[in-house]
Amino acid sequence: MTSFASLGLAETTLAALAAKGYTEATPIQAQAIPALLDGQDLLGIAQTGTGKTAAFMLPSIERLVASGRRPQPRGCRMLVLAPTRELAAQIAESARGYAKGTNLRVATVFGGTSLHRNRQDLARGVDILVATPGRLVDLMESCFVILASLEIFVLDEADQMMDLGFIHALRRIVRELPAKRQSLFFSATMPKTIRELAGQFLQPNPTEVKVTPVATTAERVDQFVTFVQQKEKQALLTMLLADRDIDRALVFTRTKHGADRVVRLLAGNGVASNAIHGNKSQPQRERALGDFRSGRVKILVATDIAARGIDVSGVSHVFNFELPNVPEQYVHRIGRTARAGNDGVAISFCAPDEKNYLRDIERLTRQKITPDRLPDDFVARAEGLRSSAVPVKESRDQENGRRGRDMQRDGKPGGGHRRTRTGPGRPRRTDGIDGKRYDARPAGEAGARPERTGEQRRRPERVEGNRPHPGNGARPERAGGEARPQRADSHRDQPRGDRRPREDNGARSHQGERRHDGQRPQGGNGRFEGQRRTEGGRPQGQRNDAGRSHGQRNGAGAGRGGPRRGAGGGDRPQRGA
């Protein structure tokens, strides 16, 4: 074993490690720390639970303290990206412990927390920022994060971050990073395709640290597999939790709904447990994880979202209620036990349709999982558990999660059904399966709409002289047989804006002819002779106050009475002429 003192770390860092009880470095730490202190890019591969966080955090803190720079407002000097909120919070907590005694500021940015709080934390700048890709991209698009002065870029759990769900956000973040930086990649698994993709973000010829073969499980974990029918898994889990001496146990399912169902059925048999998955809010996830850490609840049911973010000491058993369809996830699941040199047990339930998943896992880990038989009198005990189970009502967290899923699926509260208002005399509108609206009041009830029959359905006759309904019949004739004046033929072929003669004295005559002599029209009202007069007998454009037109008050050619700019070939009259 290699001591931390021999790796060239500062006294402040050694004191922080001694306060945590760490004196000897793990193999990944012994190989990675000297290379990172020299400023090299690194690709580290090591099984989970071997201290990868300390391997990249300790030398990075040393380099940040040695440079002595100050973070710019809304900026950071070191960025650590993690795939899950739990893993981001765990890394930030470790960074604060390792940076004890220095003036480095550590902040976290991930979903489920206050966006305003994130902006306040980044306003003055931070030294170490631990974030998830989604929330970081949101802050970057709103210009609340500046990555131009970044010195160190760390990507933890690189294979998961490089997966299709994170690759677009990661590329968006990398575009904002400076070209001169130190890049670090750490993961427990590194498939060949992910390795090729990682080469696009690292500098040429990075230092590679491979402590164990890729996707090798922890040596201290005893692995077993039990072949059982899918519908019998719940009874088998309940029996094993009751029979074995379990300190803390993690139960992994493949879906979120499956995790909630396992918790509900365990509660029906008197076994307390909590669930943690993506449909839970951040306070719910923190409360469930806090109860598990403190020991108040010894069973935690989780999806793969928690397989890379739970670092709880004392996890003695890991149950794979459903085998993962991605074999790399199996390594991360069972890596939650046998941490810090302890022993652990991993038990997997394999249904007939999951044998292909088991074959892929054994091919990846290059080891055969030991088969385990069913408990004695399994059929009779399983029937007794099913008959004695008590129906359990959904908890408030489960109900809120179900409502949230309905809103995400249908865009409305309640899974697409509107909340109705009831009361006497008030109809209730509901959306049926076929999308039609129905009246909740039965036919014939008081206050219901009467049915129109016979003469009530007939449209009343139109009184002579009234305007008919739009679209029915022609327009009524004028009184006295007077014919409606016809529109001039010369205007029919013109655009609609030119059909009505403009009221421009120097532009057009009343026949639509354009003047080219520059003379003013005859008449004192700014119009040509022979123009149409209104019913009051006063020519249009004349004012009642002084008998002058608008153009005469403002000067010749000004306002509506003057010639239009660019119309005609005459000279523009001067003001006051």
Give the pLDDT confidence score for residue 351 in this predicted structure.
96
Find which of 341-345, 372-376, 505-509 is predicted with most confidence, using mean pLDDT.
372-376
Q: What per-residue confidence (pLDDT) applies to 462?
A: 56
Beta bridge partners of 44: 186, 209
Output the pLDDT for position 198: 74
What is the pLDDT at residue 435?
46
Give the mean pLDDT of 33-58.
Answer: 86
Chain segment 103-161, per-residue pLDDT in tens: 999 999 998 889 999 999 999 999 999 999 999 999 999 999 999 999 999 998 877 77
- The arithmetic mean of pLDDT across residues 251-268, rounded, is 93
**Whole-number Å distance between alpha carbons of 307 and 376:** 31
pLDDT tens track for 536-566:
445 454 444 444 444 444 444 444 444 454 4
Least confident of 36-45, 197-206, 345-354: 197-206
Q: What confidence score (pLDDT) does residue 527 get?
A: 47
Instruction: Give the Å distances, CA to CA, from 297 to 238, 271, 393.
Output: 15, 10, 19
Predicted model pTM: 0.60
Confidence band of 454 (pLDDT split at 50, 70, 90): low
> Percent of the chain scored above 90 by pLDDT?
36
Among positive and negative, which fits the CA dihedral 507, 513, 518, 521? Answer: negative
Q: Is it the case that residue 466 has pLDDT exceeding 70? A: no
Confirm if 527 and 507 have CB atoms less than 8 A apart.
no
Average per-residue pLDDT for the chain: 76
How many residues are listed for the chain in this entry? 577
pLDDT, position 278: 82
Q: pLDDT category, 482, cuts 50, 70, 90?
A: low
- Residue 449: pLDDT band (50, 70, 90) is low
CB atoms under 10 Å from CB of 281, counted, come to 13
Q: What is the residue whose two structure tokens read 């931070």? A: 126
- Helices (H), ranges, 5-132: 11-20, 27-37, 52-67, 85-98, 115-123
Inter-CA distances, 13 with 23, 24, 68, 96, 101, Å:
11, 14, 16, 11, 8
Higher pLDDT, 451 or 102: 102
Residue 5, pLDDT > 60, answer yes
CA 315 remoteness from chain centre: 32
Residues 244, 250, 253, 258: is their CA dihedral positive or negative? positive
Instruction: Map out the domains of the chain with their CATH numbers.
Output: 2-210 (3.40.50.300), 221-399 (3.40.50.300)
pLDDT of 273 reads 94
398-407 pLDDT per residue, tens: 666 666 656 6
What was the pLDDT predicted at 529? 44
pLDDT at 159: 74
- Is residue 397 very low, low, confident or very high in pLDDT (cuts 50, 70, 90)? low
Q: Taking Cα atoms as reference points, which of 331, 338, 285, 329 lies closest to residue 311?
A: 338
